[in-house]
Amino acid sequence: MTATDLGKSYGPNDIFGGVSLGIPNRGRIALVGPNGIGKTTLLRVLMGQEEPSSGEVQRARGLRIGYLPQEAQAASETEASTLWQDGLQAFPELTSRQAEMARLERLMGDPAQAETALEAYGKLQLEFERLGGYTYEARMRQVLGGLGFGPGDYNRPLSQLSGGQRTRALLARLLLSEPDLLLLDEPTNHLDIAAVEWLEKVLSEWTGAVLVVSHDRYFMDRVAKTIWEMTPFPSEDKTRSGATPAIEVYHGNYSAYLAQRAERYQRRIEEYQAQAAFIEKEEEYIRRNIAGQNTRQAQGRRKRLERMLEEARLTPPAEPRRLHLRLEPVSRSGELVLRTTNLAIGYADEGRPLFSVPDLTLRRAECAAIIGPNGAGKTTFLRTLLEHVPPYRGEVELGASLDIGYFSQAHEGLNPENDLVGEILSVEPDLLPGKAREYLAKFLFTGDDVFKPVEVLSGGERGRLALAKLALRGANLLLLDEPTNHLDLPAQEVLQAVLASYTGTILLVSHDRYLIDALATQIWEVIPLQSDDREGGEAAAAEGRLRVFEGTYSEYRQVKEKEAEAAERSRAKPALPPRRKEPKPARPKPGEAAAERRRQAQIRALEEKISLLEGELNGLSRQLENPPSDAGKVQKLGADYLRVQGELEKLLAAWEALAGQPTRE
């Protein structure tokens, strides 16, 4: 796919312009830029859901595109009623062939139609197997499981799924349908860490191209090979030298992009400064010589300078607006911040806890990151530490001189009826309204935005307002629940830098592995109870657990990978069952020994023939998985497959008869 000089406007409002791009086969591209700059609109234009205001998009003939919006609509509910049926829509050819095979099987019971039906069935079965008909249901289970769905979800109506689950269901269908190009808009928004890591592996092996909009920096590091940065639409003439391009291309992953972006900015600063110094020098020469002996040279220089200023004057490179956030504890806490004893997290009326906690100790200036699947109880853990929820059992002891600041994922601390100035004054009542507005400007709220009611703010705006209130607290213990949710990349980078220099203690719940890897000194992993862990009457007593790892997230991942490799080796080499003591065989009667030797020789001969036929059948099967373009050769391969399969079945029947036959004289 290529696009030339794309532009998109809504009325007088220009969203983007001058966008030219090309997506190569097997490309792995991440599209980044501030919130509201038009990334989603660009995806919709490339998909064909919206028409560009200028320029054009060229799509290869027969190109199959899969598009994942940020929030999936319920439109598919009219076509499929359950999660499993929704996934089946990725295999229309296979399901139609399967239905036809079932019809032919019924016809085989009619003697008058059996022969014709059997012949048609054989050809259809061959094609069904070639297209993966005997493996597609296993693929569906693998993809649904990788995205966090269990067997108990397969028959759930789509209408009962949450918005996030519906988005995951659509992503599953897209992956199963294997389009040539995937356009993914924030695919990790509704995934926990395990599901994101599974998706990273799938996309790294994807045979088509991928263009993804994401704020997940760790995800982009592991998936992207190219970064497209979408920058603000230039207010000046786009053809003028020095105007900001709509998309800048960076080669490499997200970490490489950060380094290249800093280098480009520094180079542009130096080029601008060098040109400014040259202009100043030329203007000084012209002033000194325009009326003197060198007037002709001065006039020539003035013309050249005027031409340069008209055609090639550089504008100073502007950095994007960034948060100005400071988090500084007003007072120092005690050395011991948190200690737990025999703690379990959960609600008493549920009959069992969500998970048990080993006795923990958190000390001043440490950062513990709590990770685990969605719904495992991470937020409940924080609320238990805050005494908003009583422990299921055990005790929590908080240290001395603690001033706790809590950042809630749902931002319950914001009053929807207040405007932004009112929210700031609720923390600092003595602050003058003018000073409150100056403070809000540091969090990118300017002009009349400060008088908006909280209830109309977007998710990113709510997050910035919650951070503004948190910064006023001067807390020495921060409990942060998904603080980077809805923040764009520049805001995430600022928040990470501020937290890295914070001198207090941090307890962090997050799916942002980039942030965790930069900050955490401990990893606390919530491992929920799996459905197959509950057996019989022990179900009520069973519970999940919290695993504590002392170290960084990178070190934790290395340990987890080694554990997974060891488990894989263990599965590949199952323990042999204990040998049973066989009874001593009775001495054979005269004549029986010779008959037994003949039987064993026949069995060995059959086994050799069976082994050869199995190898031949496997070879034919592999050829049918990637068939030649010649239809005659495909038909011959199918006929050979059926012939070898028939011979193999006869030999297996003969082997079973001999192996189970007692020796007779």
Mean pLDDT in residue range 101-130: 84
CATH 3.40.50.300 fits 336-403+474-529+543-569, yes or no: yes
Q: State how beta strands 355-357 and 367-371 pair.
A: unpaired
Half-sphere exposure for 435 (CA within 13 Å, toward CB): 7
- What pLDDT score does 627 carry? 58
Identify whether the C-beta of residue 201 lies closer than 8 Å to the C-beta of residue 219: no
Can you read off the two tokens belonging to residue 371?
């990770």
Q: Could you tell me the sign of the dihedral formed by the alpha carbons of 595, 596, 597, 602, in that order?
A: positive
pLDDT digits over 310-326, tens only? 888 888 887 777 889 99
Helix (H) / strand (E) containing 287: helix 254-289
Residue with tokens 């001033």: 403
Identify whether the C-beta of residue 103 lies closer than 8 Å to the C-beta of residue 116: no
pLDDT digits over 353-411, tens only? 999 999 999 999 999 999 999 889 999 999 999 999 999 999 999 999 999 999 998 88
- What pLDDT score does 217 carry? 95
Residue with tokens 């409940």: 380
Task: Write the DSSP string, 303-334.
Answer: HHHHHHHHHSPPPPPPPPP--------SSPPP
Mean pLDDT in residue range 450-473: 92
- What pLDDT score does 537 carry? 41
Task: Write the DSSP string, 602-643.
Answer: HHHHHHHHHHHHHHHHHHHHHHHHS--S-HHHHHHHHHHHHH
Please say if the pLDDT value at position 656 is more than 80. no
- What pLDDT score does 532 carry? 46
Residue 229 to residue 265: CA distance in whole angstroms: 13
What's the start-to-end Cα distance of the chain, in Å?
77
Can you read off the two tokens belonging to residue 561?
């990978």
Please say if the pLDDT value at position 11 is more than 90. no
Q: Could you tell me the sign of the dihedral formed by the alpha carbons of 197, 199, 200, 202, in that order?
A: positive
Give the rounded distance of the alpha carbon of 467 from its chain centre: 25
Please say if the pLDDT value at position 87 is more than 70. yes
Please say if the pLDDT value at position 351 is more than 80. yes
> pLDDT averaged over the chain?
85
239 burial via Cβ count (<10 Å: 0-12, 13-18, 19+): exposed
In which band, very low, low, confident or very high, does the pLDDT at 269 lie, cut at 50, 70 and 90? very high
Please say if the pLDDT value at position 586 is more than 80. no
Please say if the pLDDT value at position 241 is more than 80. no
- Read off the amino acid at residue 618: N
Please say if the pLDDT value at position 58 is more than 80. yes
Which has the closest alpha carbon to 193: 547, 506, 514? 514
Q: In what order do the strands lie in the sheet with 2-10?
A: 13-22, 2-10, 54-58
Residue 107 to residue 95: CA distance in whole angstroms: 19
Q: How many helices (H) and strands (E) does the chain have?
A: 19, 19
Residue 658 to residue 665: CA distance in whole angstroms: 15
Collapsing DSSP to helix, strand or coil, 352 comes out as coil
In which band, very low, low, confident or very high, does the pLDDT at 619 lie, cut at 50, 70 and 90? confident
Least confident of 154-163, 495-504, 595-604, 617-626: 617-626
Of residues 367 and 625, more confidently modeled? 367
Residue 443 to residue 461: CA distance in whole angstroms: 9
pLDDT digits over 279-311, tens only? 999 999 998 888 877 888 888 989 999 999 888
Which has the closest alpha carbon to 169: 257, 63, 71? 71
Residue 470 to residue 327: CA distance in whole angstroms: 8
Cα-Cα-Cα-Cα torsion 550, 325, 186, 256, nearest 10 degrees, comes to -70
Identify whether the C-beta of residue 484 lies closer than 8 Å to the C-beta of residue 215: yes
Phi, psi dihedral angles at 155 (to 5 degrees): -100, 15
- What pLDDT score does 154 carry? 92
Share of the chain above pLDDT 70, in %: 88
In which band, very low, low, confident or very high, does the pLDDT at 634 lie, cut at 50, 70 and 90? low
Identify whether the C-beta of residue 478 lies closer than 8 Å to the C-beta of residue 368: no
- What pLDDT score does 589 carry? 55
Can you read off the two tokens belonging to residue 55?
């320029």
- What pLDDT score does 199 carry? 96
Please say if the pLDDT value at position 263 is more than 50. yes
Mean pLDDT in residue range 340-347: 95
pLDDT digits over 176-186, tens only? 999 999 999 99
The secondary structure of residue 489, as a DSSP letter, is H
Q: State how beta strands 65-68 and 544-550 pair.
A: unpaired
Mean pLDDT in residue range 219-238: 78
In which band, very low, low, confident or very high, does the pLDDT at 628 lie, cut at 50, 70 and 90? low
- What pLDDT score does 77 carry? 44
Identify whether the C-beta of residue 320 lies closer than 8 Å to the C-beta of residue 493: no
Collapsing DSSP to helix, strand or coil, 61 comes out as coil
Give the rounded distance of the alpha carbon of 24 from its chain centre: 21
Of residues 643 and 553, more confidently modeled? 553
Which has the closest alpha carbon to 325: 466, 498, 486, 518? 498
- What pLDDT score does 43 carry? 95
Identify whether the C-beta of residue 517 lies closer than 8 Å to the C-beta of residue 193: no
- What pLDDT score does 541 carry? 47
- What pLDDT score does 492 carry? 93
Phi, psi dihedral angles at 655 (to 5 degrees): -65, -45
